[in-house]
Amino acid sequence: MGRQLLLEHINVAGIQSYEVYKQKGGYAALEKALKTMAPDAVMEEVKKSGLRGRGGAGFPTGLKWSFLDRKSTKPRYLVCNADESEPGTFKDRYLMEKIPHALIEGMILSSFALGANTAYIYIRGEYFYVHKILEKAIDEAYAAGWLGKNIMGSGYSLDLYMHIGAGAYICGEETALLESLEGKRGNPRIKPPFPAIAGLYGAPTVVNNVETIAAVVPIINLGGDEYAKIGVGKSTGTKLISASGHINKPGVYEIELGVSVEEFIYSDQYCGGIKNGKRLKACVPGGSSVPILPVDLITKTAKGETRLMTYESLSDGGFATGSMLGSGGFIVYDETACIVRSLWNFSRFYHHESCGQCSPCREGTGWLEKVLHRIEEGHGKMSDIDLLWDIQRKIEGNTICPLGDAAAWPVASAIRHFRHEFEYHVKYPEKVKDPKHGHYEPIMPPKKEEAVIV
């Protein structure tokens, strides 16, 4: 196993508590920053570290911070996006539940760097019990003097609060999250202005994912340059990967960016191979929104190079033969899984979660769900496959927020790589009526040489 910067002490008894977290070196980074560094110096280390947003977009964090409107006379806010709801992703829950103080320390450090005196952690409603754990951790941090007025005599003051959501995937989109935090429906805002200029209550705001904020702690401990030495190229540091599906060892793994996909799937340190001795069929490497890859493109790129767990390598080949690292929600499919049923499931999810603001997404996701259901139930026509292609193209790029793209990409990639399986559903309606048909007659993707890439 590579270096563990976030989960190093995950198995230490009592690490949830302030005392044990502190004993294990917790709050040292914050103390270092408050006593020896100016806020800009903290931001500089984050820039040097090459840290990229861990929520899915992979945007450089230091750069995002630098967009904050410093001339504004309004208060600044830091908001943590703990609305983790991308299917296949559960790393933030794990981190917050097991080491809540890693997030709290990161929040204080980041707020200090940004000059924010009020910060909120927006947690998804379903994580009620995690909300409770974090509230306790915040109370402990206040009691120890790390929050409140004039923290440790530094002159810097910060209030940190929890805010709970109520079940809406769309609130993971940062402007929808801010709307929700203002007590409204989670409808994404039209950008610009970006939150850095006009965010929460119209004031300059930075919204960062849980893991991104927690990563600021080791960055300050090690220094940005040291952190940047881990990883490959522009994929620096470590990343939490949520592994699920047909694997022997599902769970959250901290990897050094640059581990090979093959090692990640088959090594006993990570997923431990495919369950029940089945064959690997497909993989969604970065949460439900990213393109699905067939077996031939998972461990090797189209050029035949080893595929690595990095932002660049996973997207090698663009959408024709690549995918994305996304949120690190790594979903593995064995040969029994039906790609059409999986896609119908995803499309139902996006239809359910569309906020309804933009017609292409509101109507298009419903169409996708219905047409896919028809094919899966054995009532499809060959022309339905082209219809699906047409619908997803008309959604992508035509909506205010990326939910539309997120609904379109899985459809495009499934048709691109598994068209024969859609055709099979149309040709053999009697066989596919049983939802478990893949167990009796697995349908594997064609070999790469035989596949037609559109």
Partner 1 sequence: MTKELKFSDETLALANKIIARYPEGKQKSALLPLLHLAQAEFDGWLSPAAMDYVASLLKILPVEVYEVASFYSMYNLKPVGKCTLEVCRTVPCWLNGSEDLVAYLEKKLGVKDGETTKDGMFTIKTVECLGSCGTAPMLQCGAEFHENLTNEKVDALLTKLKTEGTRKTYCLGDK
Output the smallest distance, CB 29 to partner 1, in A: 26
Smaller CB distance to partner 1: residue 224 or 245? 245
- What SS3 state is found at 195? coil
Smaller CB distance to partner 1: residue 160 or 257? 160
Whether the bond between 193 and the residue before it is cis, its omega within 30 degrees of 0, is yes
Smaller CB distance to partner 1: residue 186 or 364? 186
Chain residues binding partner 1 by CB under 8 A are 75, 84-90, 92-93, 118, 120, 124-129, 131-132, 161, 163-169, 180-186, 201, 242-246, 250-252, 284, 288, 329, 331, 333, 337, 341-342, 345-346, 349, 352-353, 355, 435
First to last CA, the chain: 38
Question: How crowded is residue 300: how many other Cβ atoms within 10 Å of its Cβ?
Answer: 16
Smaller CB distance to partner 1: residue 315 or 336? 336
Smaller CB distance to partner 1: residue 227 or 346? 346
Output the smallest distance, CB 50 to partner 1, in A: 27
Q: What are the residue ranges of helices labelled H in 50-89?
A: 61-66
Alpha carbons 43 and 40: distance in angstroms, whole number: 5
Alpha carbons 213 and 201: distance in angstroms, whole number: 22
Residue 141's nearest CA partner among 14, 34, 26 is: 26
- What SS3 state is found at 93? helix
Smaller CB distance to partner 1: residue 41 or 166? 166
Residues 152 and 170: beta-carbon distance below 8 Å: no
Residues 79 and 207: beta-carbon distance below 8 Å: yes
Output the smallest distance, CB 436 to partner 1, in A: 9
Alpha carbons 241 and 257: distance in angstroms, whole number: 10
Output the smallest distance, CB 48 to partner 1, in A: 32
Output the smallest distance, CB 174 to partner 1, in A: 16
Q: In the 8-state DSSP scheme, what is residue 240?
A: E
Residues 397 and 405: beta-carbon distance below 8 Å: yes
Output the smallest distance, CB 414 to partner 1, in A: 12
Q: What are the residue ranges of helices labelled H in 50-149?
A: 61-66, 91-98, 100-114, 128-143
Alpha carbons 266 and 187: distance in angstroms, whole number: 41
Output the smallest distance, CB 66 to partner 1, in A: 25
Alpha carbons 91 and 165: distance in angstroms, whole number: 18
Distances (CA, A) of 449 to 179, 296, 304, 320: 48, 10, 12, 14
Tabulate helix, strand, coil % of the chain (nearest 5).
45, 15, 40
Output the smallest distance, CB 386 to partner 1, in A: 24
Smaller CB distance to partner 1: residue 22 or 362? 362
Smaller CB distance to partner 1: residue 177 or 219? 177
Place of tokens 């090698």: 316
Smaller CB distance to partner 1: residue 64 or 341? 341
Smaller CB distance to partner 1: residue 30 or 331? 331
Output the smallest distance, CB 234 to partner 1, in A: 28
Question: How crowded is residue 17: how many other Cβ atoms within 10 Å of its Cβ?
Answer: 15
Smaller CB distance to partner 1: residue 129 or 440? 129
Output the smallest distance, CB 337 to partner 1, in A: 6
Output the smallest distance, CB 329 to partner 1, in A: 7
Task: For CA atoms 372, 302, 235, 193, give the dihedral sign.
Answer: negative
Q: In the 8-state DSSP scheme, what is residue 175?
A: H
- What SS3 state is found at 401? coil
Residue 416 Cα to chain centre, angstroms: 24
Output the smallest distance, CB 226 to partner 1, in A: 30
Smaller CB distance to partner 1: residue 87 or 218? 87
